[in-house]
Amino acid sequence: MHSNTKQGFAPIAAIIIALLVIGGGAYGIKKAMDKKASKENRPAESGMPVPGTDTKEKEVFMGPTTLQTKLSEQNASGQGGQAMLVQTGTSTVRIIVNLVGKPPLEPQPAHIHLGSCPNPGAVKYPLTNIDKGASITDIPNLTLSQLISELPLAINVHKSVADLKTYVACGDIVAEEKKEAGTSSAMPVPGTDTPEMIASKEWKVTYTSQGFSPKTITVKKGDMAVFENKTGKSASVASDEHPTHTIYPEFDQYKTEQRGKTEFRFVFEKVGTWKYHDHLNSTMTGTVIVE
């Protein structure tokens, strides 16, 4: 009797164990699916860990970080150029203005105005006066996304402090993100195994004790090159010939408000092949080809 009772319990125990296994498996599957769904709802992670840790860096999708504005000639001034609006940090917008053409002997006021060219309205944000064709302004407590929400806006340059009514250059700020990456062409730089780099709106040239890298870049008219000095010494980028810098006189860091700084931004508005050098160490050279 006792033996039969044990035998009777055995099938029941097997059924209970099977149900527990099935239930646990279902719970495990549900948990895995919930985990997958939760992961899909989280921000995507890049494959690169945060430097110095094993934690993967999360990608953060933000608004535009750079805008480009073409400044067109006004009132037969002979001046035109470009402005770059760059998000620096989380709450500052930097406005970099470069004008080509013979600069006047006195500074030229510039502002971001309400409205559109050629007849913008009141001043929204004052900018640093243009001196020798260039100026840099940092506007605090502002982001590019905020600026875009305030459109229409225009960047306007005036003839002089005494003649604010005469506009010499004007450009509408357009809400489109500027690409910052470049691609490499298949053709190497002559005499080297280094691919010639093709700029896409903006390209960075790094200057070290070994020289400029890339040594040659090819850009489109209206693109900007950023020359970053990492030599640890003073430098001043300028077009050939040394020391007069006459082949592209506007392309001369010393003539801009960026003189003495470790970064020099310049918009190329002239088509051609422009050789340049470090004025303080003229053996260090490079070339910008503008198409």
**144-175 pLDDT tens trace:** 889 999 999 999 999 999 998 999 999 999 88
How many distinct structural domains can be found in the chain?
2
Q: For residue 224, what are the domain limits?
A: 183-290
Q: Which domain-ending residue is among 146, 172, 198?
A: 172
Per-residue pLDDT for 183 more than 90? no
Q: Residue 282: its pLDDT value, please?
A: 93
Maximal CA-CA distance, the chain: 118
Does any domain span residue 205? yes
- Helix or strand holding residue 129 (H, E): strand 123-130
Both structure tokens of 172 = 């509408």
Confidence of residue 15 (pLDDT cuts 50, 70, 90): low
User: The domain spanning residue 117 has which CATH number?
Assistant: 2.60.40.200
What's the pTM value of the predicted model, to 2 decimals? 0.46
Q: Which domain-ending residue is among 130, 147, 172?
A: 172
Q: Residue 10: its pLDDT value, please?
A: 58
Task: Specify whether 166 is located in the same domain as 192.
Answer: no
Q: Residue 102: its pLDDT value, please?
A: 76
Both structure tokens of 204 = 């960075």
Task: Specify whether 101 is located in the same domain as 129.
Answer: yes
Does any domain span residue 23? no
Does any domain span residue 96? yes
Per-residue pLDDT for 47 more than 50? no
- Quick one: DSSP state of residue 50? P
Please write the tens of the pLDDT for every residue from 70-105: 999 999 888 888 898 988 878 899 999 988 887 788
Q: Residue 33: its pLDDT value, please?
A: 52
Both structure tokens of 255 = 């003539």
In order of 36, 207, 228, 278, 284, the CA distances from 233 in angstroms are 53, 11, 12, 11, 13
Both structure tokens of 229 = 């000095």
Q: Give 217's contacts (C-beta < 8 A, 6+ positions apart).
A: 196, 197, 198, 199, 203, 205, 225, 287, 288, 289
The CA distance from 268 to 265, in Å, is 10
Both structure tokens of 36 = 């997958």
